[in-house]
Chains A and B, each alone.
Chain A
Amino acid sequence: MIEVSGVAKSFRVAPAGKHGLAGLGRKRAAGRVVHAVRDVSFSAPPGHITGLLGPNGAGKTTTLRMLAALITPDAGTLAVDGIDVVARPREVVARMGVLSDSRGLYPRLTARENIVYYGALQGMEREVADARAQDLARMFEMTALLDRRTDGFSQGERMKTALIRALVHDPANIILDEPTNGLDVLATRALRENLRWLRTPAGGSKCIVFSTHIMQEVERLCDSVVVVAEGRAVASGTVPELLERTGETDFEEAFVKLAYGSERAPARTAQATT
């Protein structure tokens, strides 16, 4: 169960061209303030896939990073299974599997070692983590790759490894930031299948939140959608509900209406993700 209510986060961005000497001069001139997230609220129940849909720079990644306790929010509250993220970040992180925007692996370690490392950091016994890696690898059809170094992995193989790594401690809550970035059709399909299975009681009735800017993914996968634009959650509901509310038959049209307003051109959205 993930509950986010009224979170906001702004960053001070240094004026362009003032990044000299790897940031040695810490006292920068007062820069521009970017409101990455202004007001985002949503609630994601277990056994349910919740999609955060929004254009690039809408504040999705920042919201998810606040949820993962990497960024402290300026306002609002975030709770995972009733535990406050700001107050007890370690406990929250232990209940979440996060596939973040950056999903780097250690190229000199095998896929198995990458996964078991995270399992150990999550407090698992090595043998248990190893067995779990084996199970997940079977599920994601990458058993053959498990003992190869990740150096030569393809995008899809990397993503699978990173996802297994995020799921190794069997978290009740799963957060995926743009998981299909760089994946081909088959890999995307496989991922979708896996997420559907994780939602079922057999898969553990996981609470899954995933962010994307791709309509089709939301249509095909999500039980409910939260539309985020310019740092605000502007609408939420199931896909049919949102279609009904906007009076559209095409979800893309509905999204444009919700995200940019009915008559506004989708041009002024150039705000940094982080």
Chain B
Amino acid sequence: MKRHLVAVSIVLRKELIDALRDRRTLLTVLVSSVLMGPLVLMAISALVASLEARAELREVYVAGLANAPTLKNFLERQTYTVKEAPAAYEIELRKSRFSDPVVVVPPDFESQLSRGESPIVEIVSDSANQRSEASTGRIERLLGGFSRERAVLNVALRGVAVQLLEPIEVESRDLASPQTRATRITGILPYFVLMAVLYGALNAALDTTAGERERGSLEPLLMNPAERWAIVVGKWGAVASVSMLIAVLSSFSFLPGQWVLQSDTLAAMFQYGLREALLFLVVLLPFAAALSAVLMAVAIRCKTFKEAQASATIVLLAVSLVPLISFFNLGSEAPWHLWVPALAQSTLMTHVLKGESLGAAEVVVPLFVCALLAAAGVAFVARMLRHAALK
């Protein structure tokens, strides 16, 4: 047994040196995967910050402001600044140059209002212009408030109880903790981490299998007395190590990423500390090991690196599409999700981001699946090795 372990460590050491010398590939993976998290976080925070800034400004743009002194008075009482909308607001909105919805008041607003004829007030926004769309709800609530005030005044003047107008009172209670609310925004982060792990494993996995075949170095390698499974385990260990390294780096990259958050609200909601980073690793490391074995198993069938890249696309596609199942299910989770690689990991990472702790089953089931996949992959590569060396 000791002899076999020595062989494993010899192959592992050589493959690691080989992979780490592939500087350009490694650098590309590092830059794209490790910087990706903080960059996405920065983009999200910039968006949230600009939304917050807008909400703080409390501005309403009205077209035909002069026609509606009553409305203007109401809005100003709600401490909003009322501004005249630009003349060509439709074009501006459509081209996303103007980012607030516009309230359009008809010319005879006041007279219709006093006659009780319900003048039509339009809120103009462009649903393709996301920033204007985000403020529409706020404006709707404001105008609703105006309507209600008018109604209450009218009814009160006629001596009717105000309660008649509001037979029920609606209050909403939000159960979400700040962290759960944040996952609506930070929910895509697990996806980026999974991709990082995948791309970390990809190159090394292909190089040690299909690359070795293409170079013609597999046949001489098998003419050494080392057992085939020992060679494969060594190779797999090296690939998994590289992938795990990327997993560690990308998990920890969110720690400094947090400091660049511009939005205070988001910074308060997105609580990603050492505990979260470590839980991410609990989820990711077995996955990295399994993914490495699967990629090697796919690639050992291919004679060239290029051919292997084409075949590996299936794995890439699966890993990037499977987590979407939970998006399509609109967040509802089924127990079987834990049995599906990639989906389980993305689900669990979302849990971690929500501030929940991971249960035993949640850790053990994916771990079991990953161990199974890794063992199957390694066994398959070992079985195919001789065949692959000769063809």
Contact = CB atoms under 8 A, between A and B. Distances in A.
A98 B386 contact: no
Residue picked from A69, A71, A93, A108, most chain B C-beta under 10 Å: A108
B220 to A, nearest CB: 6
Contacts of A162: 220
B10 interface: yes
B224 interface: yes
Contacts of A109: 14, 17-18, 21
B215 A71 contact: no
Contact of A122 (B21, B225, B307, B311): B225
Interface string A107-138: 11100010001101111000000000000000
Contacts of B10: 117, 120-121
B223 A117 contact: no
Nearest to B391: A274
B28 to A, nearest CB: 16
Residue picked from B14, B21, B225, B227, most chain A C-beta under 10 Å: B225
Given A22-B302, A93-B224, A117 B216 contact: no
Contact of B215 (A22, A70, A107, A113): A107
A153 interface: no
B18 A100 contact: no
Contacts of B226: 121
Given A103-B216, A105-B217, A274-B390, A98 B223 contact: yes
A152 interface: no
Interface string A227-241: 000000000000000
B22 A93 contact: no
Nearest to A69: B223
Contacts, number: 83
A93 B224 CA distance: 6
B386 A108 contact: no
B301 A70 contact: no
A23 B222 CA distance: 22
Interface string B374-390: 00000000000010011
A82 B101 CA distance: 91
B239 to A, nearest CB: 15
B218 to A, nearest CB: 8
A120 B13 CA distance: 11
Interface residues of B, number: 32
A65 interface: yes
Interface string B1-22: 0010011001100100110011
A70 B220 contact: no
Given A102-B217, A105-B217, A113-B17, A121 B224 contact: yes
Contacts of B11: 121
Given A93-B224, A118-B224, A122-B224, A108 B216 contact: no
B219 interface: yes
B220 A166 contact: yes
Contacts of B220: 98-100, 102-104, 118, 162, 165-166
Contacts of A166: 220
A249 B18 CA distance: 53
B225 A123 contact: yes
A68 interface: yes
Contact of A104 (B6, B215, B307, B390): B215
Contacts of A100: 219-220, 223
Residue picked from A69, A106, A108, most chain B C-beta under 10 Å: A106
Given A70-B386, A93-B224, A120-B10, A22 B219 contact: no
A94 B223 contact: no
Interface string A69-103: 11100000000000000000011011010111111
Contacts of A101: 219
Interface of A: 22-23, 65, 68-71, 90-91, 93-94, 96, 98-109, 113, 117-118, 120-123, 162, 165-166, 274
